[in-house]
């Protein structure tokens, strides 16, 4: 007579399948979206002690952060790039679809695909998306590798990267001959040391600045609208933070749920420094249209 082993109840088998699929999805997200661990695991400097000393991430690229409570809770992340360092190149990284749109991807995906050491979200876009792969339309001018991707928005400003490596902020977007790359943003908030930022909306902020001597490019991300963690900053407040970091000029890029700062490293090949605001799970990136990234001599490959 054939012996029959114990039968596993159908409900238990279904539960096991769901658990395996769930773990696989979590592993996939961890590898490609690199979500942050719960806030409990974060360790921050003493409140209101200013930005930490600069930590080297790669040759010519440094990182600092600050834990502020005044004028409100603000978790701040900063990158400083030495534009005079040999082999350092700042570029616009994105995947145009050929008809004025771009494929939305996580910032960490752009980091890997374009061999960047650090990246920050750049040009605003429509519509908002939760999952990568969908085509979105940049709100404003994007020029990548001397090819215009999208139309300018004259009421917005832009960061212009010229072929010789010089950079400048352009008031009112327009297409100019000889420009190598352009990342359209929102508005200039700091101009020759003068704060021109707005004093109304408080939200997550992504800002890019240049020192007066144009040696340093400075990035700033302030997380926002996360109660009990980081409430965000006004445009004028981000400009003041940029001044403390050494910028003479600065501009806002896309903010809110798009604000993301990522760098090479970790077991998945990329890590997220800030805590993006996600409608699904706190700490998961929102796909964006494009990023501003940095390549160094050892990262860009042949």
- pLDDT digits 0-9 by tens, 166-206: 899 999 999 988 888 999 999 999 999 999 999 989 999 99
From its phi and psi, is residue 63 left (phi > 0), alpha (psi between -120 and 50) or beta? beta
Q: Which residues are CB-neighbours of 170 under 8 A, at least 6 positions away?
A: 157, 158, 159, 160, 182
Residue 14 has pLDDT above 70, yes or no: yes
Q: What is the 3-state secondary structure (H, E, C) of 201-250?
A: CCECEEEEEECCCCCEEEEEEECCCECCCECCECHHHHHHHHHHCCCCEE
The pLDDT score that the predictor gives to residue 27 is 47
Residue 22 has pLDDT above 70, yes or no: no
Looking at the domain assignment, is residue 32 inside a domain?
yes
Please write the tens of the pLDDT for every residue from 119-154: 999 999 999 998 899 999 999 999 998 999 999 999
Domain that holds residue 143: 10-295
Looking at the domain assignment, is residue 231 inside a domain?
yes
Looking at the domain assignment, is residue 5 inside a domain?
no
CB atoms within 10 A of CB 256: 19
Dig out the tokens for 240 from the structure: 């003041």
More confident residue, 20 or 255: 255
More confident residue, 164 or 72: 72
Count of positions (residues) in the chain = 302
Looking at the domain assignment, is residue 260 inside a domain?
yes
Q: Is 41 helix (H, G, I), strand (E, B) or coil?
A: helix
Please write the tens of the pLDDT for every residue from 62-116: 999 999 999 999 999 999 999 999 999 999 999 998 888 999 999 999 999 999 9
Looking at the domain assignment, is residue 302 inside a domain?
no
Looking at the domain assignment, is residue 4 inside a domain?
no
Q: Which residue has the tokens 């980091």?
A: 111
Dig out the tokens for 289 from the structure: 């249209």
Q: What is the mean pLDDT of the chain?
A: 90
pLDDT confidence tier of residue 31, bands split at 50, 70 and 90: low
More confident residue, 31 or 184: 184
The pLDDT score that the predictor gives to residue 298 is 72
| Number of domains the chain contains | 1
Q: Which residue has the tokens 């080297």?
A: 56
Looking at the domain assignment, is residue 204 inside a domain?
yes
Looking at the domain assignment, is residue 3 inside a domain?
no
Is the CB of residue 286 less than 8 Å from the CB of residue 130? yes
The pLDDT score that the predictor gives to residue 297 is 79
Is the CB of residue 264 less than 8 Å from the CB of residue 58? yes
DSSP tag of 100: S
Please write the tens of the pLDDT for every residue from 258-298: 999 999 998 778 999 999 998 777 788 999 999 999 999 77
pTM for this entry: 0.89
């Amino acid at each position: 007579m054939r012996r029959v082993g114990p039968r596993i109840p159908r409900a238990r088998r279904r539960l096991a399948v769901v658990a395996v699929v769930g773990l696989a999805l979590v592993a996939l997200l961890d590898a490609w979206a690199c979500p942050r661990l719960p806030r409990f695991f974060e360790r921050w400097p003493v409140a209101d002690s200013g930005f930490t000393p600069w930590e080297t991430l790669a040759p010519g690229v440094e990182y600092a952060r600050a834990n502020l409570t005044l004028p409100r809770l603000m978790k701040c992340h900063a990158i400083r790039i030495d534009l005079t360092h040999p082999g350092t190149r700042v570029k616009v990284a994105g995947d145009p679809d050929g008809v004025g749109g771009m494929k939305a991807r996580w910032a960490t995906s752009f980091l890997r695909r374009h061999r960047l050491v650090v990246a920050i979200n750049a040009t605003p876009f429509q519509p908002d998306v939760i999952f990568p792969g969908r085509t979105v339309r940049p709100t404003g001018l994007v020029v990548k590798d001397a090819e215009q991707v999208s139309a300018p928005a004259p009421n917005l400003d832009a960061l212009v990267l010229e072929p010789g490596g010089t950079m400048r902020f352009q008031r009112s977007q327009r297409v100019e001959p000889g420009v190598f790359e352009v990342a359209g943003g929102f508005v200039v908030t700091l101009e020759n040391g003068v704060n021109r930022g707005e004093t109304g909306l408080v939200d997550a902020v992504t800002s890019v600045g240049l020192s007066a001597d144009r040696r340093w490019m400075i990035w700033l991300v302030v997380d926002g609208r996360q109660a009990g963690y980081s409430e965000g900053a006004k445009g004028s407040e981000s400009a003041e933070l940029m001044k403390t970091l050494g910028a003479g000029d600065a501009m806002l890029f896309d903010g809110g749920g798009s604000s993301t700062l990522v760098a090479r490293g970790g077991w998945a090949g990329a890590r997220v420094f800030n805590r993006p605001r996600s409608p699904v799970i706190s700490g998961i990136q929102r796909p964006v249209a494009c990023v501003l990234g940095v390549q160094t001599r050892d990262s860009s490959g042949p």
